[in-house]
Every structure is written in C-alpha cells, then in structure tokens.
Structure 1
C-alpha cells in the first residue's frame, strides 16, 4: 500500500495525460492546430450552420469522406484565424471542448488573418454554392449583425466565435467551464460579451451566464432557413460569475 506521504515524484505513473487537462482551462498553441481542428470538426458535425454551409446541390453527389475532409479543413482554418487574432481555450484530456474568442479590438476577418490562417484557400476549395453561402451570405450577415447589435461598443467587447464539445464528452460541464473562465475575465475588465448561437438549447445555457438574445440572423439559401441568435452579456463586475450548473447537452454550435 502506498504511503500517503510519498512524494508525487515517487508515486507510480498511471497515465501520460497531464492530470490538469481534465480540470483546468488551457490556451492552445498553433502547433495544436491539427488536433484541435479534428475535435472541432467532431463537435460541429451536426451543427445546423455547419451542415447548411456544405449542403448545397453541388455536394449532393459527394462521398461522405470527401465532405468530412472539407469540414475538417474549414475547422483547421478557423482555428488558425482565431489563434492568430484571439484566444483558443480547451478543457478535457483529449481536446474535448474548445472555445475560440477574440478580445476587444480584434477581428478574424481582416486580410492578415485571412492570409496567414489559410482561410483564403476556401475561395477555391469550396464548391460554388458553399462559397456563396460563406462569403456572400454568412460573412456579411455576421459583420452587419454584430455592428447593429453592439453599436459603438463593437470594438470593446469579448466575442465568442465558436464553442463545441465532442459528442462523447458532453454532459461533463466542459462548455460551462470554458465560458465561466472568460466571463470572469470580461467582468474583471468591465466589458460586454457577444456571440451568435445556432441552437435554442444552447441559448438556455448562455442565459445562465447572463447572455440575452438581442437579434437574429436568417440564412435563406437552403430549402429551410437557418437562424443564428445574436446574444449579449453585460459586464457584471459586482459578482464575478458564481457557479453555474448547466444542463445543456453542450452540442458543438455557433457559438
């Protein structure tokens, strides 16, 4: 039997996974792009927005593996853009939940981030209808909705671009942990927060952290419209976020 006083360094090694990864929030580096991109792809595989963007008539005959490879590529480019201009955080032992943020005054759609992240390649890699849905419909809609919703505070807010949990890791509070870490930071800075959500279920999770729906985006190029809900959280410096018990299924959603 092991002595309780045995130094940690002398105890038998039971796992090579850093023990803090299951309980702490950590920032990801660009060198983790492949692993993070794959986890994000799993988290967002059934996300209404992700499906909408790639569900045009010109992909109807694609093999499932080809469509999946494009989805993974999109997530890797997206990760790189947020890592260049913002902060990407994760929790769980195997990139189980990931959140991508931009701080006040930073945006992922400027030319430098688009070039360095490789996002520009999507113009050539996406099929025609997906290209129209991304560049002609979604990107302008996100830009205009945020400006309209935040007004003069658009450059002074924390933005949650994406948050997703892998299917097998849901229900463990990982998404709540990632959100709480950044709401605490925003409260300490006395700054608002903004996100777009593609899931009514997750709207309820965000509401527990103080987010409120302020508007919506309607995407209409598919057979059925897809809605994104613009949500704002006002700073709450008087009470750095109390413990929030979440009951959402924590699907990968925008955000």
Structure 2
C-alpha cells in the first residue's frame, strides 16, 4: 500500500497529481492512520506557513508532536519525509554533512529539524528530502507569488538571493532518491538573485523600497551529480529560470506579458 500524508497542502497536492496513492491523510483525519501498514509512506504533512509557526511556536510544536504520535503507531517498509532547508539556522554554504552547531532562532526550522530526527529514529528505512522554496500549481505565498499578484512589492528586495525548486519534478526526484538509497538529500538548485527574476519576468514592476540586503540562501547537496545535476546543485541558475518562465507562461494572467 502507498500512502500520502498532507495531500491537501501545496506539496502534497502536487504529489497526489504526479503519482497514484492507495490512501491519503491530512491534519483532519490523521488519527485514521494509526495501526495501518504501508509499503511506502510519504509525508508532506507539516504546515509550511513560517509566519504562523514562528508566531505561535507552542502550537506549531504541538501540531508536530501530534503527527509524530500518530506515526508512532504506523508500520512502513519505507518512509519518505518532505522537509525544508529552513532546518539550517544559517542557510549559506551548507550541505547534508553540515553539523547543527548553531542554535535556531525560529521555531519553524527548529521543529522541522526535530521532526526529521523523530522519523529517522522511528522508521528503519527512511529518506528525508529538504526543499527550498518551490513553485508550481497551487503555490502558496512567497516572493514569486507576491510578484505575480502585484502585492507588497516594496518588501520584494532585489538584492535577495533565494533557491527555487520546480514542484513538477518532485515525484521523479523522490523515485531517484529511493532508487539510490539516499537517507538525506537537499533538493536544491543554484541560488537565483531576485533582481534576475524581476528583470526576466516582472520588469514593469517597481520593487524593493525597503532597506537591507535581503534573504541570502546557498544550500548545497552532496548528491547533485547522482541526481542529474552538478557537484553542488540539482539545477543551474539558467535551468531554474527557464523552468520558472515556462510555468509563468502557462498562467492565464501572464498570457500577454511575453515572459
């Protein structure tokens, strides 16, 4: 049996489109998973809203422990967790071998790192994949979404450097990770300057009225070449920008923008 946790969220909804599943669960019915057995169980069940998690750390950790409690009563031959690069307190020049010596200042990353450790200890065959910001169908709010919707543009800092992941490739990447037997993988592309996204796709918009350097990310992977990329990343900057352009052109509101 193949199970999916989190099928109503952005990541889980896309996985539900990309593969067939025998059973799906979300936060509302997660207790129904207790006592079940799976050949493969994929979890994308923790909320991805950083603002809510950091604003209510007690509630966020309680939600995480509730999911962990349900999983304690599950048997799975193979477990896959879709996690986040937010587990790194400083997401610059780090990879899967980087020790966590710096304490977290934000609950979102701290609790997701704790959950990684819980499931790795719970399931004998466990794969954890860490995603950067993803884009694709049903994308939730982020810098790209703000640009698309022409919203809060003063807060979009062109000096920022962020990593992006095309969600359409996730199921295929999970298959590769499983096939290679990798217990931990950062599914990260090369960092893209926000200024380039602005120049390529949104040059009609005025952005970046706030001071500061902006978000800087440079999370790398030890498994880039095994997964079809280069030594440090799954995709180059140009490849990410090309994929983003293809997706943007598919959106109705971009029909006449020529990006």
| Higher RCO, Cα 8 Å, sep 6+ | 1
TM-score (ref. length: structure 2): 0.34
Structure number having the greater helix percentage: 1
The structure with more radius of gyration: 1
